[in-house]
Amino acid sequence: MSGPRLASLAGRPVTIGGLGSYLPGRVLTNEDLAAVLNTSDAWITQRTGIKQRRVAESGASSSDLGIAAARAALSDSGLSPDEIGLVITATISPDRIMPATASRVAYECGCTNAGACDVSAGCTGFVYALSMAAGMVAAGLHDHVLVVGAEVISRVLDWEDRSTAVLFGDGAGAVVVSPVPEAVMTGGRGSGGILGFDLGSDGSGEEILMIPAGGSRLPASCATVEARQHYMQMNGREVYKFAVQVVARSAGRVLEKCGLSVSDVDLFVPHQANLRIIEKAIKKLGIHEDRVYTNLEKYGNTSCASIPLCLTEARAEGRLKNGDLVLLMGFGAGLSWGACLLEWGCGRGAVDERG
């Protein structure tokens, strides 16, 4: 391997050292939805690319799914749970407003030496949490941080609202962020490592996608329940326009920050909201569809879980090789967005293969 070490992230090099995911077994197809809502498989497929989604069992919460994904990522990393210094859970469907969903995830996973907190940044939450983990590990504040994207969005959807109910699904994915092992530090491409981020937010769009009630702005009351204000509400057309613009812009920015270009990207992993958004954005960016990973036809929009779910499947399918340049792109409520550029080289596996 040759070439300069690529890093816009200062401090020691950090990488994704473990990866895992969890999906509930229950499948809800477009036909199932068409039986109870004024919608059709044709409309959902044509407008979104989604064919089915997973739905958690009644009683299962986001932490339950997150715990399963986190255990898989921990096992993949080869670390013992007590080596984790911090657990961050990104979610739009937390177990409760307080305490943090991450506290239960950390407890149930045996992360006895870890702090725990949640990140709320709409569907961009996973990329935000990853940036915090990467910064902390790079700075030496922690050696290993567990980042979990976990959603049981089916609990915050209005099942009478066809404009949102057909889009989302439940699931969880997790990564362990660790220093790049010394054995694979070649000082050039192929070392593996998180290279940089581009994060942004535009609060003028806060009402375009929200759960209006249940917080301090509009506390829960009989009136908020009657008005169905504890469910997600979205202006789909506005989110669509925002997403197409921001994906191309933010992805371009992170590439520029790291001194790379679109032609260097081996795999683009966008948030899985809508196939049309992805198709339009990659056309703007100039990335060929062969280099784009999608699985939303099977799982719908799993919000903070969508990117780690994609990474897990992409690796299992052999689409992530050590040294590949991977571009992650999240966007969602806030409005918020976040891009991350990384060179794939996953922990123990990377050492075994190269050592």
Q: Determine which residue in the list 162, 249, 253, 280 makes contact with ligand UT7, applying CB under 6 A.
A: 162
CB of 124 within 8 A of CB of 132?
no
Give the Cα-Cα-Cα angle 313, 253, 181 (nearest 5 degrees). 50
Instruction: In whole angstroms, give the CA distance from residue 138 to residue 225.
Output: 45
Q: Which is nearer to ligand UT7, 43 or 107 (CB)?
A: 43
The DSSP secondary-structure symbol of 301 reads B
From the CB of 35, what's the least distance to ligand UT7, in Å?
A: 13
From the CB of 333, what's the least distance to ligand UT7, in Å?
A: 7
Cβ neighbours of residue 329 closer than 8 Å, sequence gap 6 or more:
127, 247, 250, 251, 268, 269, 270, 271, 281, 337, 338, 339, 340
Of residues 111, 271, 274, 340, which has the active-site annotation? 271
Q: Which is nearer to ligand UT7, 107 or 240 (CB)?
A: 240
Asked whether position 28 contacts ligand UT7 by CB under 6 A, the answer is no
Q: Which is nearer to ligand UT7, 47 or 315 (CB)?
A: 47
Asked whether position 332 contacts ligand UT7 by CB under 6 A, the answer is yes
Q: Determine which residue in the list 74, 121, 123, 267 makes contact with ligand UT7, applying CB under 6 A.
A: 123
Residue 269 has phi, psi (to 5 degrees) of -120, 90
Q: Determine which residue in the list 47, 257, 291, 348 makes contact with ligand UT7, applying CB under 6 A.
A: 47
Q: Where are the beta strands (DSSP E) in the chain?
A: 14-22, 26-29, 52-55, 86-90, 115-119, 145-151, 171-179, 193-201, 209-210, 233-234, 267-270, 325-332, 336-343
Q: Examine the residue annotation and report whether 301 is marked as an active-site residue of this protein.
A: yes
Can you read off the two tokens belonging to residue 264? 């260097």
Asked whether position 169 contacts ligand UT7 by CB under 6 A, the answer is no
From the CB of 222, what's the least distance to ligand UT7, in Å?
A: 29
What is the number of alpha carbons within 13 Å of residue 119 lying toward its C-beta?
27
Number of residues written out for the chain: 355
Asked whether position 201 contacts ligand UT7 by CB under 6 A, the answer is no
Of residues 111, 123, 258, 304, which has the active-site annotation? 123
CA distances (Å), 296 to each of 48, 83, 353, in order?
Answer: 9, 34, 31
Q: Which stretch binds ligand UT7 (CB under 6 A): 94-102, 111-119, 232-240, 310-318?
A: 232-240
Asked whether position 241 contacts ligand UT7 by CB under 6 A, the answer is no
| 59 Rama sector, left if φ>0, alpha if ψ -120 to 50, beta otherwise | left
Q: Which is nearer to ligand UT7, 185 or 234 (CB)?
A: 234
Q: Which residue is nearest to ligand UT7 (CB)?
A: 236
Q: Determine which residue in the list 80, 163, 221, 261 makes contact with ligand UT7, applying CB under 6 A.
A: 163
Cβ neighbours of residue 250 closer than 8 Å, sequence gap 6 or more:
198, 200, 329, 331, 337, 338, 339
Q: How many residues bind ligand UT7 (CB under 6 A)?
A: 20
Q: Determine which residue in the list 15, 30, 48, 103 makes contact with ligand UT7, applying CB under 6 A.
A: 48
* Residues of the shown chain interacting with ligand UT7 in the complex, contacts defined by CB under 6 A: 39, 43-44, 47-48, 123, 162-163, 166, 209, 234, 236-237, 239-240, 243, 273-274, 301, 332
Residue numbers annotated as active site: 123, 271, 301
